[in-house]
């Protein structure tokens, strides 16, 4: 799936959106835990 990091820029950023959604969930979770 991830043969080369250079290839990721050429197709739709699915890994970016996956990492983005995970990052948002972690940020919200840490914010709620910190509160």
Give the integer Cα–Cα distance in Å for 33 and 4.
Answer: 37
Residue-wise pLDDT for 21-34, tens only, equals: 888 999 999 999 99
Q: Is the pLDDT of residue 14 over 80?
A: no
Residue 18 CA, chain-centre distance (Å), reads 4
pTM, 2 dp: 0.46
Give the integer Cα–Cα distance in Å for 35 and 13.
Answer: 33
């Amino acid at each position: 799936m991830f043969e080369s990091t250079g290839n990721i820029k050429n197709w739709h950023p699915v890994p970016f959106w996956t990492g983005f959604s995970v990052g948002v969930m972690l940020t919200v979770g840490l914010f709620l835990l910190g509160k």
